[in-house]
Structure 1
C-alpha cells in the first residue's frame, strides 16, 4: 500500500571493497568491487540490499544512486516489491532495493525470506571457484591449489583459450568445469575449439558469443551445453533463447532482484532450460538473496565475496568449494 505520510526511510550509498587479487576476464580487469548499498528502515527494523552496477549494461554507481533517489518518495510512502518492479528498470539499483525490501518484510514478519517465498531455506551449496585469465602456467598453478573443490570456472579469451583450458585440465582431470569466454568468441572460434571442449570434458560453456550475435548459435549443434549469461536478463528474454542455449544464468543484478529471479527460474524450467545461478564480484550482502534459488540450480557460481580482501562481517563462508550461508540475522530474517 502506498501512503501519503512517509512510513519508511531509504538510504543508498556507494561502498568499495578491495580485491585480494586482480579479477581478469576477456572484457577487462578489476581490482575493487564497487557496489550500491541500500537500507530501508521501518520502525525498529532495517532491511539491507546490495547491487553491482555494470558498465556492460550501461550502469554506473552514479546512475544507480540517481535511480534510487528518484524512487525514494514511492518507497518511503510504502511501495512494495511489485510497485518498484513496475517503476524501475531491471538492473543493479532495483536489485539492491528489492533485496532490502525482502529483508525488511521478513524482519517485520519475524520470519525468513525463504518462508515468505515458499521455498527451501538456504543450505551449503557447491559453488564454482573462478580462475581468471592469466598465463596458462599461472592458471594451472591456481587450479592445482583447488584440487579439492567440486567445480571450477575458468575465464578465457579468444586467442589463448585452447592453451588455458588444456593447462587447467591437465592438473585438474576430475573436476567439473565451466568455461566462460565472456562474449569474446565468434562462431568460427567456437567451431574451431569445439572438439577440444569435448575432449577436455567441459561441463558447461557460458556465453561464448556476444549477446547480439547469439543468432549464430541457432544452426550450431554443440555437444557441450551452452549457457546464456549476457543474453539473459528477465523472463522477457527467454523466447529468443530457445534453440540457441541449453541453460540460463540467473544473476540478481540482471533480473533486478530476487522477485523477478524467482519468476524467471520458474519460467525457464517450464520452457526447458537448465538453471545456473551466478553473481558479480560483490560482498556477501549481494550473495545472500541468491542463495534461496541456488539449491534449485544445476550450476552455481557465487564466489564473488571470496575475491574480497575483506567481506562484510558475518558473510558467507567457503570450505573447499562448498559455500555456507551467512550467519543468522545477516540477511533475510531476524
Structure 2
C-alpha cells in the first residue's frame, strides 16, 4: 500500500474521531444542561409552592392542640422515650407513660398508637411541634405512642412508604411485647398524608390493627385534583409519579376507599368542612363505603375547620373531637 494515501487515510480517520469526540462532548454538555434546567425548574416550582403554602406550613409545624396546656407542657410527660432504627436510616421514637419505666401498672395502659405525620408524603418529620403536641396529649391519657419518619414520596414512591409503615407495625408489636409485656394490637393514627398511609396499611394487615384514625386524609386520591391547593396536587403527582389523566388506575389503586377489606378495623375519620387542601367529601365517601360494608366507622366533622384545624381552633368543638379521638383509640365507640 502506498505510504502517502495511507497517511492521508489515517489523518482523515483521526479528524473523524476528533469530530466524533467533540459531538459526544457537546451532547454530554447538553444533557447535563438539560438536567440542570429540569432540576432548577423543579426546585423553583417547589420553592414557589412552599411560599404559597406558608400559612399551612406554619400552623402544621408550630401549632398545638387546645388541650396541650402550659401545665402539661411543663410536666415533662414525654421524658420516658426511646429511639430505634426500625429500618435502614429510618427512625422510630417510642414515648410511654412514666409508670412503664419501672414496668409497673401495665394494666392501666389504654393502648399502643403508631403515629404517621403529615406533609403531603414529601415533607414533615416525626418531631414537629404539632406532632409532639399529639404525643404529649395521648401519653398523658395513658397511651404508648410511637412515631416514625418515612422516606420522601418524590424519592421513594407511595408503595415504599406503605411498606415502611408496615415494617414499623411489626417492630412496634415486637418491642411492646418484649419491653413491657403488652399483648395489645397496634392502633394507627395519621394526619393528612399520614392518615392516608395509615388507612392503606390497615387494609394490608387488618388482623394486626386495633383501630385506625385519619385526620383530614385523602381517602380518594382523585379528590385532591378538585382542591385549590397547588401543594396538594404537586405532592400527589410527585409521590405517585403520574398525573391522574394519564394513570387514573394508579390513583384508584392507592385510594383507601378502594382497599376496604371484610375485616377492616374500626375507623375514625375527622375532617374540617372548610378544608382547603383535602376536600372533606373524601372522608365522607370513605365513611359511607365503610358503613355500606357493615364495618364500624365514625365520622367527626368540624363546621369551621380548615386543614390542620385542631392546631389552630381553640373552641369546645375541637376539644370534644380530640377527646373523642382518645376514647376511640382506647376502644370506646361513644
TM-score of the superposition, structure 2-length normalised?
A: 0.32
Q: Higher relative contact order at CA 8 Å, sep ≥6: structure 1 or structure 2? A: 1
Give the strand-richer structure, 1 or 2: 1
Give the helix-richer structure, 1 or 2: 2
Q: Which has the larger radius of gyration?
A: 2
TM-score of the superposition, structure 1-length normalised?
A: 0.32
